[in-house]
Amino acid sequence: MQDFLTLAKDRYSVRRLSDKIIPQEMLEKILEAGRCAPTAHNNQPVKIWLIQSAEALEKVRSTADFPFLKAAPAVFAIGSEPAAAWVRPYDGKNFADIDAAIVATQMMLQIHDLGLGTTWVGHFDADKLKALFPEMIPFNMIALFPVGYPADEARPSRLHEDRKPEEETVRRL
């Protein structure tokens, strides 16, 4: 692994994927990166689905119309289960979606570290996804990650390096 800040800055939303098959060992590393992510009170209210079969890929592709989703040889779906999550006692804040976002982020960084590409897809029909995969019904479906090798023409968005100035996003107290 490269140093973390380099990894974090280099990772970008890959919207052009090759259909080249991903070795199973790489997919297992991605799953493990999600499984070892920290969660509030270690409740682990998160489920990860690895979608690889032709039938399951067709189903998930029908929930969002993106070329990179159609090209990906594998898709990860990440969901949170609010009933299993830690709830902050002071204000009742449920951490399920936060925990799922931590899991998803670790997976996304592992994907990049392996030389693969993905983009966080939040624009999908979650109700349709649950109808097609009933095992997802009790979960808040927060992300789909189409995963593959970046296509030769894959490039970061022109906005990739744009950041607000530090004084707008950081307060030192």
Its domain, for residue 102, covers: 9-151
Q: pLDDT at position 59, please? A: 97
Residue with tokens 């989703």: 69
Q: pLDDT at position 5, please? A: 81
CATH of the domain at 145: 3.40.109.10
Contact present, 26 and 116 (Cβ < 8 Å): yes
Does 164 reside within a domain? no
| Dist. CA 77–CA 166, nearest whole Å | 33
| Tens digit of pLDDT at every position of the chain (173 positions) | 558 888 777 876 777 788 899 999 999 999 999 999 999 999 999 999 999 999 999 999 999 998 888 889 999 999 999 999 999 999 999 999 999 999 999 999 999 999 999 999 999 999 999 999 999 999 999 999 999 998 777 676 676 677 788 889 888 89
What letter represents residue 21's amino acid?
Answer: I
Enumerate the β-bridge partners of residue 121.
144
Does 160 reside within a domain? no
Domain count, the chain: 1
Adjacency order of strands within the sheet including 74-80: 46-51, 74-80, 140-147
Q: pLDDT at position 96, please? A: 98
Does 156 reside within a domain? no
Q: pLDDT at position 150, please? A: 83
